[in-house]
């Protein structure tokens, strides 16, 4: 899998498909993405490479680290201290995003009341940490 930031200065390459793909409705992700809902693909850290690098780590919330392109400001990745060995990449960065349908919704208690995504995916009112920590049954 491949992708890049908005300006193309940072490339992302994954050697495996993501472990999961999820919507996030929290206000932090909405602000970071500039969209009414965000979507992320979670990769094992060993399966992901940023070129030239993902740059310096920034932390605005306890237990959450984020990386941004130094030139265009695109969010490149995030890690969460409670989701070990997973790196979350915004879905919009990935060239294969059209093949990566989200599998769940997180923080739906914070969802904008006018946004209606009609699907039968699992929904968590707050964090989806328990669901995201579960191993993928397909291996």
Q: For 25-83, what is each residue's pLDDT tens digit?
A: 999 999 989 999 999 999 999 999 999 988 888 888 888 999 999 999 999 999 999 88
Q: For 62-76, what is each residue's pLDDT tens digit?
A: 889 999 999 999 999
Q: For 82-127, what is each residue's pLDDT tens digit?
A: 888 999 999 999 999 999 999 999 989 999 999 999 999 989 877 7
Q: What is the CATH number of domain 2-112?
A: 2.170.150.70
Residue 137: pLDDT band by 50, 70, 90 thresholds? Answer: very low
Q: Which residues contact 84 (CB under 8 A, 6 or more apart)?
A: none
d(CA 30, CA 37) in angstroms, rounded, equals: 6
Answer whether 0.85 is exceeded by the pTM: yes
Residue scoring higher pLDDT (135 or 92):
92
Name beta bridge partners: 41: 21, 89
Q: What is the pLDDT of residue 136?
A: 52
């Amino acid at each position: 899998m491949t992708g890049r930031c908005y300006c193309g200065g940072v490339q992302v390459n994954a050697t495996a498909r993501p472990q999961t793909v999820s919507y996030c409705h929290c206000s932090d992700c909405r602000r970071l993405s500039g969209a009414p809902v965000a979507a992320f693909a979670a990769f094992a850290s060993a399966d992901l490479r940023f070129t030239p690098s993902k740059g310096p780590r920034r932390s605005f919330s306890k237990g959450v680290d984020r990386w941004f392109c130094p030139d265009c400001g695109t969010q490149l990745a995030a890690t969460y201290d409670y989701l070990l060995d997973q790196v979350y990449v915004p879905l919009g960065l990935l060239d294969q995003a059209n093949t990566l349908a989200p599998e769940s919704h997180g923080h739906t208690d914070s969802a904008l009341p006018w946004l209606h995504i009609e699907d039968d995916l699992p929904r968590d009112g707050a964090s989806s940490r328990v669901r995201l920590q579960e191993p993928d049954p397909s291996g």
